[in-house]
């Protein structure tokens, strides 16, 4: 997030897209609802489903899944044509505007409506509302990113924010909501195939030299590694022989699970480090039991870049060790002596090699969380980014064209499948599905379908249906209403007995290599 969660309460407008916030991020959702209730904030919701936030929205843009770039370009078309953009900001703080203007000129409200299904009147109203707001925040999640053009979707969001001067101001900005606790922290620490901690590129000789010196090794590889899906593909091709999976459950969370299982079984050696015996761990050669969050000290970095301390509440059971102790022991046995007295010592090293964390230590964090960048011990942390100037100097517009989803509906598979989460469960259900209370509230997988489509298929509430794609088939009960749009079905991915990722497609965004989880073609059949 360029801005802070609490700033949402003072935004004049919030554009919410690709996020069912009240269910996926309920605390942040409560900030938004409170802002509307106070009368200051108006919300624009762009979502194909009639999610809870629609009830609080000034404008609801009911879009076709996978059309984000088109309708965002359509909004910018209106804003530029009506002269509503921040002219001085664009002239002084950005570059690439003319190319952007040229591309979005083709995305008239009429063209955007044809692609996205959003009535042009609603799109125009949303564009005017957003552009005229003194401070407007854009909030999005994986409904934007998990597409083959997810990177372009994010660039389009950034284009719109810069066009209206909303980056580098309080209560504005571009604000992605991260999918799990400490995903932000993992990325900050270099758990990506192309960077060291703090997003320092592995291809830079100067950066490699810095980390080689800090870690006491002669050299470090400058090769960019593989993403999850690429690694699994390489396993099938025989190019990856071993895989170490830590705190992740690809046998539930990755697309096209038949393909995932084939890849994992093709490995010579699979290690899984986790707190429970997950679906992936059941295929492992070695399972390393790790301590959970309440059984260790450390820090979590949340979606607003806030680094917060975690303190051990209970001892780990049996011979269970913390993640860092396991990693250090393995590294030492492999010939690199890795020893730390405690988690605080590791954080001290993080501050030495991670400029955005350099001003943090346990003493400061014990008094409350700090938002990076926090470069010195005197620095208070940064509530919002890019104040006065962008990190790169000028903000760069990226002119982007809309591309169709990899697998749109057709005569054989007429429905568009959307995947996601529900309030009562979390990710692959490794923890939440072991909770009696949560299972009572949401005990099984449900296929959400519109009343109109259910009537055509003669499906009644609670009846079992079969959902089939070109990759797999699952069976689950139907739930009928007005949340799902006509021609779409929504299925959560928490349930291994009806694992929706048996259906999803492994088509990748060419830049970020994110799979297109959010859209693929399926057919729905009533089970007689």
**Mean residue pLDDT across the chain:** 94
pLDDT class for 513, splitting at 50, 70, 90? confident
Q: Give 496-507 pLDDT, tens digit per residue.
A: 888 888 898 888
pLDDT number for residue 288: 97
**Under 8 Å between Cβ of 467 and 503:** yes
Find out whether the peptide bond into 373 is cis, omega within 30 degrees of 0: yes
pLDDT number for residue 425: 86
In CATH, what class is 5-177? alpha beta
pLDDT number for residue 237: 95
Q: Please measure the distance between the N-terminal and C-terminal CA atoms of the chain and give it in whole angstroms.
A: 48
Higher per-residue pLDDT: 480 or 493: 480
pLDDT number for residue 463: 95
- Mapping DSSP to helix (H, G, I), strand (E, B) and coil, where does residue 43 land? strand
Write out the two tokens for 434: 């072991």
pLDDT number for residue 92: 95
User: Sign of the CA dihedral 58, 64, 66, 71?
Assistant: negative
DSSP-derived letter for residue 151 is: H
**What is the bridge-based pairing of β-strands 174-176 and 136-140?**
parallel
**What is the distance of C-alpha 479 from the center of its chain?**
26
Specify the residue for token string 């030495």: 352
Neighbours of 403 (CB within 10 A): 13
CA geometry: angle 146, 148, 153, nearest 5 deg? 70
Beta strands in 342-501 (DSSP E): 370-371, 395-396, 415-420, 446-450, 464-468, 473-481, 488-492
Label residues 503-512 b or e (16+ Cβ within 10 Å = b): bbbbbbbeee
Helices (H), 267-335: 323-333
Helix (H), strand (E), coil (C) string for 221-266: CCCCCCCHHHHHHHHHCCCCCEEEEECCCHHHHCCCHHHHHHHHHH
pLDDT number for residue 341: 96
3-state helix, strand, coil in the chain (%, to 5): 35, 20, 45
Distance CA(442)–CA(52), nearest Å, equals 17
- Mapping DSSP to helix (H, G, I), strand (E, B) and coil, where does residue 109 land? helix
pLDDT higher than threshold 90 for residue 429: no
Q: Give 47-102 pLDDT, tens digit per residue.
A: 999 999 999 999 999 999 999 999 999 999 999 999 999 999 999 999 999 999 99
Q: Give 299-310 pLDDT, tens digit per residue.
A: 999 999 999 999
Average pLDDT over residues 503-527: 88
Q: Specify whether domain 415-526 bears CATH 2.40.40.20.
A: yes
pLDDT class for 427, splitting at 50, 70, 90? confident
Contacts of 139 (CB under 8 A, 6+ apart): 8, 14, 15, 16, 17, 19, 21, 28, 32, 175, 176, 177
pLDDT number for residue 409: 93
pLDDT higher than threshold 90 for residue 348: yes
Write out the two tokens for 430: 């490794």
DSSP-derived letter for residue 321 is: B
DSSP-derived letter for residue 511 is: T
Contacts of 363 (CB under 8 A, 6+ apart): none
**Under 8 Å between Cβ of 274 and 430:** yes
Specify the residue for token string 């802070």: 4
Domain boundaries, the chain: 5-177, 179-225+299-312+342-377, 415-526
Average pLDDT over residues 198-205: 95
Specify the residue for token string 């693929």: 520
Choose from 120-129, 250-259, 416-425 the range with maximum mean pLDDT. Answer: 120-129
**What is the distance of C-alpha 45 from the center of its chain?**
18
Distance CA(273)–CA(284), nearest Å, equals 10
pLDDT higher than threshold 90 for residue 180: no
């Amino acid at each position: 997030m360029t801005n802070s969660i609490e700033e949402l309460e003072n935004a004049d407008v919030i554009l919410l897209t690709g996020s069912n916030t009240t269910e996926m991020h309920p605390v942040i959702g409560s900030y938004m609802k409170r802002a509307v209730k106070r009368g200051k904030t108006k919300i624009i919701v762009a979502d194909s489903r009639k999610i809870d936030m629609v009830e609080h929205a000034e404008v609801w843009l009911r879009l076709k899944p996978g059309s984000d770039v088109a309708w965002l370009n359509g909004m910018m078309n209106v804003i530029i044509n009506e002269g509503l953009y921040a002219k001085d900001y664009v002239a002084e703080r950005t570059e690439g505007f003319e190319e952007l203007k040229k591309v979005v000129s083709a995305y008239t409200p009429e063209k955007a409506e044809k692609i996205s299904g959003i009535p042009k009147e609603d799109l125009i109203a949303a564009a005017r509302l957003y552009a005229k707001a003194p401070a407007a925040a854009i909030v999005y999640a994986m409904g934007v990113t998990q597409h083959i053009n997810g990177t372009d979707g994010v660039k389009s969001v950034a284009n719109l924010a810069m066009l209206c001067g909303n980056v580098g101001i309080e209560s504005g900005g571009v604000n992605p909501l991260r999918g799990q606790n400490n995903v932000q922290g993992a990325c900050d620490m270099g758990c990506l195939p192309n960077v060291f901690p703090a997003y320092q590129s592995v291809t830079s000789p100067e950066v490699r030299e810095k980390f080689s010196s800090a870690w006491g090794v002669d050299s470090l590889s400058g090769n960019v590694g593989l993403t999850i899906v690429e690694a699994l593909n390489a396993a099938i091709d025989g190019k990856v022989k071993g895989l170490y999976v830590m705190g992740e459950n690809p046998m539930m969370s990755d697309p096209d699970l038949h393909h995932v299982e084939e890849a994992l079984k093709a490995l010579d050696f699979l290690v899984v480090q986790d707190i429970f015996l997950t679906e992936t761990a059941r295929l492992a050669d070695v399972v390393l039991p790790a301590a959970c969050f309440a059984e260790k000290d450390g820090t979590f970095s949340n979606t607003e870049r806030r680094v917060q301390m975690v303190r051990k509440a209970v001892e780990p059971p049996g011979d269970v060790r913390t993640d860092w102790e396991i990693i250090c022991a393995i590294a030492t046995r492999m010939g690199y002596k890795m020893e730390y007295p405690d988690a605080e010592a590791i954080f001290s090293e993080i501050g030495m090699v991670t400029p955005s964390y350099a001003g943090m230590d346990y003493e400061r964090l014990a008094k409350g969380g700090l938002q990076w960048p926090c470069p010195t011990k005197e620095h208070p942390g940064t509530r919002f980014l890019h104040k006065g100037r962008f990190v790169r100097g000028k903000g760069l517009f990226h002119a982007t064209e809309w591309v169709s989803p990899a697998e749109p509906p057709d005569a054989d598979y007429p429905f568009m499948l959307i995947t996601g989460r529900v309030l009562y469960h979390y990710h692959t259900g490794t923890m939440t599905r072991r909770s009696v209370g949560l299972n009572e509230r949401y005990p099984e997988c449900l296929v959400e379908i519109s009343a109109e489509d259910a009537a055509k298929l003669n499906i009644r509430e609670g009846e079992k249906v079969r959902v089939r794609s070109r990759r797999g088939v699952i069976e689950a009960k139907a739930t009928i209403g007005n949340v799902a749009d006509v021609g779409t079905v929504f299925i959560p991915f928490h349930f291994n007995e009806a694992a929706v990722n048996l259906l999803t497609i492994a088509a990748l965004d060419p830049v970020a290599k994110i799979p297109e989880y959010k859209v693929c073609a399926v057919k729905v059949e009533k089970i007689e």
